[in-house]
């Protein structure tokens, strides 16, 4: 006889005690896809590195993940070991020629990726005369959102039309920054751009997180700049800081994330922590 005070009398004895007690009459909700854009108009702040490693870490947590390469430099595509010279299609065709994005998605063990090649450099010009030019990515992603829990968009180092497409398609923006005074100025500019996007294109998009990357806590400047970021962005600054390590530069040479390249290393642990923070924030927001 099960005498546990937490077990309701109507649960049959042999049943898994964690089963029926949690059944409610609420209708099953479709799990929603969260679209997150990694953006900063400054280059070399770890947008691409974060897209790949956060993507891999979210997959590891059991999520279905798509990463989208929206940078003509195609660094994200290359980081997965994909030969960008011989791609039959690219995200350019999706944005400009309305190719269904499924035809541009490559499957990898770490996550799915919508690939880019250098032809994307012509997209800003090609899009500029099109009606609905800011919504091309949003429209392209709509049919595949049901297939993913997270879509992460890597953006070029500018606030041009490609980045505007990313902002319009996203629920939130995570901004990788280095702990430097000048980063703060860039953040203000990004915030102003997002204000305009909210007014005209996507009322929900906002800076959801500021991620300190390439952190070197040994310098006073790093620590002071971090303090300034915390004062201005409070709990939007992600708790985890990604430390400076050569491992993050080495991993893409092998075509893999640092979670595969050095699974037990510090960088892998930090990106896993980031994934957990991102998931926790999304759950809070729902």
- In the complex with ligand ADP, which residue's Cβ is closer, 46 or 210? 46
From residue 140 to residue 179, what is the string marking binding to ligand ADP with x (rule CB under 6 A)? Answer: -----------------x----------------------
- In the complex with ligand ADP, which residue's Cβ is closer, 44 or 109? 44
Scanning 20-28, 59-67, 92-100, 237-245 for contacts with ligand ADP by CB under 6 A, the matching segment is: 237-245
Confirm or reject binding of residue 214 to ligand ADP (CB under 6 A): yes
Rounded distance, CA 90 to CA 116, Å?
Answer: 5
- In the complex with Mg ion, which residue's Cβ is closer, 74 or 108? 74
Question: Residue 196 is encoded by which pair of tokens?
Answer: 């305009």
**Binds 206: which of ligand ADP, Mg ion, none (CB < 5-8 Å by kind):** none
Conformation bin of residue 59: beta by default, left when phi > 0, alpha when psi is -120 to 50: alpha
Residue 75 CB, nearest distance to ligand ADP (Å)?
Answer: 5
Residue 244 CB, nearest distance to Mg ion (Å)?
Answer: 17
| Strand pairing class (112-114; 105-107) | antiparallel
Place of tokens 């020629």: 97
- In the complex with Mg ion, which residue's Cβ is closer, 106 or 200? 106
Region 30-69 residues binding Mg ion, contact defined as CB under 5 A: 47-48
Scanning 9-17, 26-34, 75-83, 245-253 for contacts with Mg ion by CB under 5 A, the matching segment is: 75-83
Count interface residues toward ligand ADP (CB under 6 A).
16
Residue 9 CB, nearest distance to Mg ion (Å)?
Answer: 59
- Binding residue (CB under 6 A) for ligand ADP from 33, 35, 37, 45: 45
- In the complex with Mg ion, which residue's Cβ is closer, 34 or 47? 47
* CA 95 to mean position of chain CA atoms: 19
Contact residues for ligand ADP, defined by CB under 6 A = 43-49, 75, 157, 213-214, 242, 244-245, 248-249
């Amino acid at each position: 006889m099960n005498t546990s005070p937490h077990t309701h009398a109507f649960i049959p004895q042999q049943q898994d005690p964690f089963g029926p007690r949690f059944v409610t009459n609420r209708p099953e909700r479709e799990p929603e896809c969260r679209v997150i854009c990694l953006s900063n108009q400054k280059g070399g702040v770890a947008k691409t590195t974060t897209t790949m490693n956060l993507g891999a870490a979210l997959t590891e947590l059991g999520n279905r993940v798509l990463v989208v390469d929206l940078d003509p430099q195609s660094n994200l595509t290359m980081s997965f070991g994909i030969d960008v010279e011989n791609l039959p299609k690219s995200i350019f065709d999706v944005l400009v020629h309305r190719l269904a994005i499924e035809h541009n998605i490559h499957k990898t063990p770490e996550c799915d990726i919508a690939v880019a090649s250098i032809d994307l450099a012509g997209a800003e010009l090609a899009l500029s005369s099109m009606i609905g030019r800011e919504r091309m990515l949003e429209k392209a992603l709509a049919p595949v959102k049901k297939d993913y829990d997270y879509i992460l968009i890597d953006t070029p180092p500018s606030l041009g039309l490609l980045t505007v497409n990313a902002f319009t398609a996203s629920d939130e923006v995570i901004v990788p920054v280095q702990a430097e005074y000048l980063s703060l100025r860039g953040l203000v500019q990004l915030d102003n751009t997002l204000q305009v996007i909210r007014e005209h294109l996507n009322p929900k998009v906002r800076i959801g997180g500021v991620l300190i990357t390439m952190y070197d806590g040994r310098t006073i400047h790093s620590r002071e700049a971090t303090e300034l970021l915390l004062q201005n962005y409070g709990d939007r600054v992600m708790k985890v800081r990604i430390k400076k390590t050569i491992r993050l530069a080495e991993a893409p040479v092998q075509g893999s994330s640092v979670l595969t390249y050095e699974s037990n290393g510090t960088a892998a642990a930090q990106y896993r922590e980031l994934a957990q923070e991102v998931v926790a924030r999304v759950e809070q927001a729902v």
